[in-house]
């Protein structure tokens, strides 16, 4: 195909017209990715980069996968878009059915949106409205109980339940009040656990983990007691808090939250936008603790990371509260123009089909074991404070002071320096502050995992000087 504009024009437009997310545009240098092949990205210069973070945590089966491509093409020849306002289409309806078949049995209905943040907004609004319309209404339940350092997206409702101050503090005056619990961190543990952590190691000793989970849960219990019947829902990222820096919860914490929600008669929203679709080793992270949520948010990997589609799955009890004669206005007055878009739904159906036909999920434990083994030596590095992992999500945290777990000042951009070095090795990574994130497509190969870890090692040396 002839290029109608010069590459230099296009780069100028990318720098001056396109406002990139989470990017300081004053210093942005254009980098144009033109093609994808499996787990690799190819830029406008023909350079190849291993996609070490799944194009921001969403790609599952690699790029340009023929099965997903074909599904989108076939749908395109039928129709590209159908509204979900008062009508539907067979692709989206089939997706809802198949998605629920793969999800916890508590979930029987699906509300589709386009992005993760919108799926969270929907969950919050559904929970809020539920308490006003259920059989025994409790309209005083208007607060959400959220986790310390939570991240649920960048729209104002999702920022309200979020707790990453570097991203969220600016918008404080615009946000609604939230009851905030501690971050159930397995690395920066409360002082009483530090001595035991040193011998137990992070995420290894079951009784230590159970004690740590109970410690955090006790604080959630106190908050629920304090706000007894005012909590509309607890919202949590299950097992791992992504944007907080892949903070890993002690095992049993999520199940404990479910028990607390039941005991205090409130709802549990599980935000699986980052953890869903096999990354932690099960299709959903909440399945590892046998948790049946009232609402579950999915996004990112739902379409295999191909097209924007997200979903809020709900239990039947919530659905029932919205049914009634038209005149009672019990409907959910919320919608996004492209929610449930059939092209994206076709990609999502193809994604689920690949889970069924390729047995990709079954391959995660052995790949995760190899990744663990490759990362293990980094624990001895004088500036690596923590190496944490669940399934194919891993993080290596660089620290200035290992003993006291003190990070480098964020202004020093050590994570960025490390990732720049990885790029020289042909690996694309995007850090979270001092934390190097590894979240490759599930199709990553053994050789690619070795390259990934090698590039991280070189990156750490470049960033820390050791």
Ligand X SMILES: Cc1ncc(COP(=O)(O)O)c(C=O)c1O
Q: Report the interface residues with ligand X, using CB under 6 A.
A: 115-117, 120, 151-153, 237, 242-243, 271, 273-274, 299
CB atoms within 10 A of CB 216: 25
Q: Cβ distance 270 to 304 under 8 Å?
A: no
Residue with tokens 């000087």: 465
The alpha carbon of 208 is separated from its chain's Cα centroid by a whole number of angstroms, namely 26
What distances in angstroms separate CA 350 from CA 61, 83, 95, 261, one per listed residue? 10, 21, 9, 35
Give the nearer residue to ligand X in terms of CB position, either 151 or 208: 151
Give the nearer residue to ligand X in terms of CB position, either 273 or 452: 273
Give the nearer residue to ligand X in terms of CB position, either 309 or 452: 309
**Can you tell me whether residue 353 is helix, strand or coil?**
helix
Closest of 195, 225, 196, 226 to residue 210, by C-alpha: 196
Q: Cβ distance 236 to 270 under 8 Å?
A: yes
CB atoms within 10 A of CB 241: 26
Residue with tokens 């003190």: 406
Give the nearer residue to ligand X in terms of CB position, either 72 or 117: 117
Give the nearer residue to ligand X in terms of CB position, either 209 or 237: 237
Give the nearer residue to ligand X in terms of CB position, either 167 or 319: 167
Closest of 107, 15, 28, 75 to residue 350, by C-alpha: 75
Least Cβ distance, residue 310 to ligand X (angstroms):
6
Least Cβ distance, residue 146 to ligand X (angstroms):
12
Rounded Cα distance, 189 and 81, in Å: 49
> Dihedrals φ, ψ of 279, to 5°?
-60, -35
Least Cβ distance, residue 114 to ligand X (angstroms):
8
Least Cβ distance, residue 403 to ligand X (angstroms):
31
Residue with tokens 């971050």: 183
Give the nearer residue to ligand X in terms of CB position, either 106 or 275: 275
**Can you tell me whether residue 48 is helix, strand or coil?**
strand
Q: Identify any residues that bridge with 42 across adjacent strands, giving them in sequence order.
A: 35, 48
Least Cβ distance, residue 116 to ligand X (angstroms):
2
Q: Enumerate residues 6+ apart whose C-beta is below 8 A from 242.
A: 57, 151, 274, 275, 393
Least Cβ distance, residue 391 to ligand X (angstroms):
15
CA 450-238-125 angle, to 5 degrees, is: 135
173-182 core/surface letters (b: 16 or more CB in 10 A; e: else): eeeeebbbbe
Give the nearer residue to ligand X in terms of CB position, either 152 or 383: 152
Give the nearer residue to ligand X in terms of CB position, either 295 or 399: 295
Q: Identify any residues that bridge with 236 across adjacent strands, giving them in sequence order.
A: 270
Least Cβ distance, residue 211 to ligand X (angstroms):
27
Residue nearest to ligand X (CB): 116
Least Cβ distance, residue 153 to ligand X (angstroms):
3
Give the nearer residue to ligand X in terms of CB position, either 336 or 421: 336
Least Cβ distance, residue 237 to ligand X (angstroms):
5
Q: Identify any residues that bridge with 41 across adjacent strands, giving them in sequence order.
A: 36, 49
Q: Cβ distance 211 to 229 under 8 Å?
A: no
Least Cβ distance, residue 276 to ligand X (angstroms):
9
Rounded Cα distance, 393 and 276, in Å: 11
**Can you tell me whether residue 428 is helix, strand or coil?**
strand
Give the nearer residue to ligand X in terms of CB position, either 152 or 381: 152
């Amino acid at each position: 195909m002839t290029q109608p504009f010069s590459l230099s024009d296009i780069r100028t437009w990318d720098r001056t017209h396109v406002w990139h997310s989470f990017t300081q545009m004053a210093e942005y240098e254009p980098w144009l990715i033109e093609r994808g092949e499996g787990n690799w990205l190819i830029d406008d210069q023909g350079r190849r980069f291993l996609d070490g973070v799944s194009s921001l945590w969403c790609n599952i089966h690699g790029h340009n996968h023929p099965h997903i491509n074909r599904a989108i093409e076939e749908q395109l020849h039928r129709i590209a878009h159908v509204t979900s306002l008062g009508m539907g289409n067979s692709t989206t309806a089939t997706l809802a059915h198949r998605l629920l078949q793969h999800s916890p049995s508590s979930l029987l209905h699906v509300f589709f949106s386009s992005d993760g943040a919108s799926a969270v907004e929907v969950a919050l609004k559904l929970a809020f409205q539920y308490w006003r319309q259920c059989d025994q209404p409790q309209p005083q339940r208007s607060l959400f109980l959220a986790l310390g350092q939570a991240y649920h997206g960048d729209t104002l409702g999702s920022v309200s339940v979020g707790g990453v101050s570097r991203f969220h503090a600016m918008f404080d005056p615009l946000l609604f009040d939230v009851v905030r619990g501690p971050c159930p961190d397995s690395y920066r543990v409360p002082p009483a656990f530090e001595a035991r952590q040193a011998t137990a190691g992070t995420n290894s000793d079951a009784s230590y983990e159970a004690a740590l989970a109970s410690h955090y849960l006790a604080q959630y219990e106190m908050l629920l007691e304090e706000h007894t019947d005012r909590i509309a829902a607890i919202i949590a990222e299950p097992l791992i808090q992504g944007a907080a820096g892949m903070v890993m919860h002690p095992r049993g914490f999520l199940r404990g939250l479910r028990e607390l929600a039941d005991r205090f008669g409130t709802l549990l929203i599980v935000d699986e936008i980052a953890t869903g679709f096999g990354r932690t080793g099960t299709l959903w992270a909440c399945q590892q603790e046998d948790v049946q949520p009232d609402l579950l948010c999915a996004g990112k990997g739902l379409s295999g990371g191909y097209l924007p589609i997200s979903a809020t799955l709900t239990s039947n009890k919530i659905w029932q509260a919205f049914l009634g004669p038209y005149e009672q206005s019990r409907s959910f007055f919320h919608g996004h123009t492209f929610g449930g878009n059939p092209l994206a739904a076709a990609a999502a159906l193809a994604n689920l089909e690949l889970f069924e036909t390729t047995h990709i999920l079954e391959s995660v434990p052995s790949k995760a074991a190899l990744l663990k083994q490759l990362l293990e030596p980094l624990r001895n590095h004088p500036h690596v404070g923590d190496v944490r992992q669940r399934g194919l999500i891993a993080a290596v945290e660089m620290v200035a002071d290992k003993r006291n777990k003190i990070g480098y000042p964020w202004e020093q951009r050590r994570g960025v320096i490390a990732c720049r070095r990885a790029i020289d090795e042909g690996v694309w990574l995007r850090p979270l502050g001092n934390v190097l994130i590894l979240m490759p497509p599930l199709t990553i190969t053994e050789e690619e995992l070795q390259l990934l870890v090698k590039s991280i090692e070189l990156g750490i040396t470049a960033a820390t000087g050791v």
